Amino acid sequence: MEMEMEMRAEEDIEIGEDITPPLTPLAFALHDSLLSSHCSSCFSLLPPHPFPPLHFNPTFPHNPHHVLSSSSSFYCSPLCSTSDSPLHVSSAEPHLLHLLQSHPSTYPHGDSSDLRAALRLLHSLPATRPSARIAGLLTNHHKLLHHHDHHRIRDGARAMFLASKMRDEAPNVCSDNSSSVSPDDAVLEEAALCLVLTNAVEVQDKTGRTLGISVYGPSFCWINHSCSPNACYRFLVSPPPPTCSAEKTPLRIAPFGQGTQIESGVCSNNVFIKECGSYGPRVIVRSIKRIKKGEEVTVTYADLLQPKAMRQSELWSRYRFICSCTRCSASPLTYVDQVLEEISAANFNSSSLSSDINFDRDKATQRLTDYIDDAIDDYLSIGDPESSSVRLEHVLTQGLSDKQSECKEETSQLTYWLHPLHHLSLNAYTTLASAYKIRATDLSALYSKMDDHLLNALDLSRTSTAYSLLLAGATHHLFRSESSLIVSVANFWSSAGESLLTLARNSVWSQFVQRDLPVSNPSSTGKYRCPNCSLADKFETDSFHGQVRYADFDYVSNEFVDCVTNFTQNVWNFLGLGCQYLRVVKNPIDFSWLGTIRYSSVGEDIVRSSGTEVASKCGAGRRISGSEAEGYNNQVRMCLFKLGVHCLLYGGYLASICYGNSHLTRNVDKILDLEESIESLS
């Protein structure tokens, strides 16, 4: 990733348009854990009978010991095997994997994908000495070697050097003592590894799972970072097409900067488009805002739902630069950055609960972060979703006191409260939605008869859906002030839609409602056409013409919010049944109830309304009461269904801006599948 060069638009670009053709990488590598399950060339999932690499070394064809007997890579097709095998073997990648397996102390820093990508880069490029740039890309060699993680670079470079010697001489050249390799021996390897650490991006599949890393040429890596970017990128993780398609999508950006052509060797834009037939995961850059001719094109290198301080820390730690984009330079902080870090404090010993108390915000933030990270770890690492749920809802509802965070100290009675839009609150909602879903699934799997356990499972699913909808609404509220959050918001709306539709089709509803849910024929989009908005009509028309139009983006978004707000008002009390925190959230879509940022905190509202009573088991492990069961009726179920359809449609609409029309089509298919399930229950 670069911060000295930049790429600018060569023409006006509308929202939701591809800016580059599919770009093939200079170097790439799967993560170690996926080498046996994914194609080492295109990163797609392997078939039941994968293809091994071709075992030959074009440099030393007569020396069989230069090729390891055990395969370290597999391929999805003969094309991928033929394309990638020569580089795989010649770059010393299998030798490196053998070295690290037989002598783990050589590189005790975990995953080796950075090292393997650097070996591939070295073998592909004509570099014979380290420099500030290799193939036009900044190495950051000097900066990274003075970083706190410089041991990782030194050890990695030594391991790369030894692997190359194993390839060139004999497999047994390695010993346990890699310190015999001096820094001067591996200086070129150090530079290549620094280049990878500076420029590599994590390759993700359509589900968001990280598969490995890839380094692209200047046409991608010269696109700078912004915390309010106007573009995003997506990966094509599939075998390369048999014919060239680059001509159909021109490169619409050009480099700009001092010494562009001299320093990088760029003579024309043609060098930015690699020859067709190349392999590896391809990347496409796409606009998420309107971009004027001559305007710089930017993407993000950080999580945009983090507050400013966290983004700055991450960018400095990894890339060694301080961001000065418009969002980071704003004074005072933008609304989004204010609420992402907003914390209030209350003193329980005081007769009044004021949020205007002076307190150490850094200390409070760290304690809240430690507590929530630990609670989330209960679920992700220990596998205890119930403990995680209870702890997260406890801190959201009661806040975190000094006494609670440091059991041995009772020096303060201050209690810290998170803003409902704080980034830690958003992390909690994400975990709670998933944890409750897992608990419901596990409970349903244990019992087949209709009894209290399945009713509790439905209860847990309802709470999961509530948190999923709250997460979507909260991030959409932020999105209306910072449109670059569109990628995250698209995913959250889609997830909320799936959760709502899954809840609406749950078979346990038959205990409460008659089998007369009105669902029309699912063969056309007419079934989910809404009389109050044009979402379905628009998407049906656009899909017919093969292209979604975004000129009326603001109008479509406003229509959606109005419609979803109306639906939510009819079901939110039902979704929040039994959960104290969800009951305090007046509306998960319209956050006008928050007032200004210096509001009377949610925690204070809970204390005022319920004293010291806390719902420590929100929606968990209890039978649905008679009054709550009244909420399980056909009217609520149909409203959940319609709300879910709207969320999925809008999530697909936003995703199509970021990734293309296929994501909208995928969400429509989900609606059809889930709708058929509901029809079968009716």
Q: How many other CB atoms are there within 10 angstroms of residue 66's CB atom?
A: 22
- Say which residues have a Cβ less than 8 Å from residue 420's Cβ, sequence separation at least 6: 474, 585, 591, 594, 602
Sign (positive or negative) of CA dihedral 101, 107, 113, 118 = negative
Q: Which residue has the higher pLDDT, 245 or 157?
A: 157
Identify which of 211, 245, 240 has the alpha carbon closest to the alpha carbon of residue 79: 240
Under 8 Å between Cβ of 602 and 353: no
Q: Which of 181-190, 209-218, 429-438 is predicted with the least confidence, judged by mean pLDDT?
A: 181-190
Select, from the ranges 239-253, 518-532, 536-550, the one with the highest average predicted confidence (pLDDT). Answer: 239-253
| pTM for this predicted structure | 0.85
- Determine the pLDDT at residue 619: 45
pLDDT for position 513: 58
Task: Compute the mean pLDDT over every residue in the chain, rounded to the nearest whole number.
Answer: 80
- pLDDT at 280 exceeding the cut of 80: yes
Task: Give percent of the chain with pLDDT exceeding 90.
Answer: 47
Q: What are 339-372's pLDDT values in tens digits?
A: 999 998 877 655 444 445 678 888 899 999 999 9
Task: Reply yes or no on whether the pLDDT at 536 is more than 70.
Answer: no
Q: What is the pLDDT of residue 514?
A: 52
pLDDT at position 434, please?
97
Mapped onto helix, strand or coil, the DSSP state of residue 400 is strand
Convert the pLDDT of each residue in 231-265 to its tens digit. Answer: 999 999 887 666 554 456 789 999 987 545 433 43
Instruction: Note the pLDDT tens digit of each residue in 75-124.
Output: 999 989 988 988 898 899 999 999 998 889 889 999 999 999 999 999 88
CA distance 311 to 327: 11
How far apart CA 526 and CA 528 sit, in angstroms, is 6
Determine the pLDDT at residue 522: 32
With residue 224 as reference, give the H or E element that holds it: strand 224-225
What pLDDT is stored for residue 597 in this prediction?
39
- Nearest Cα residue to 214 out of 278, 131, 288: 278
Q: Which residue has the higher pLDDT, 489 or 59?
A: 489
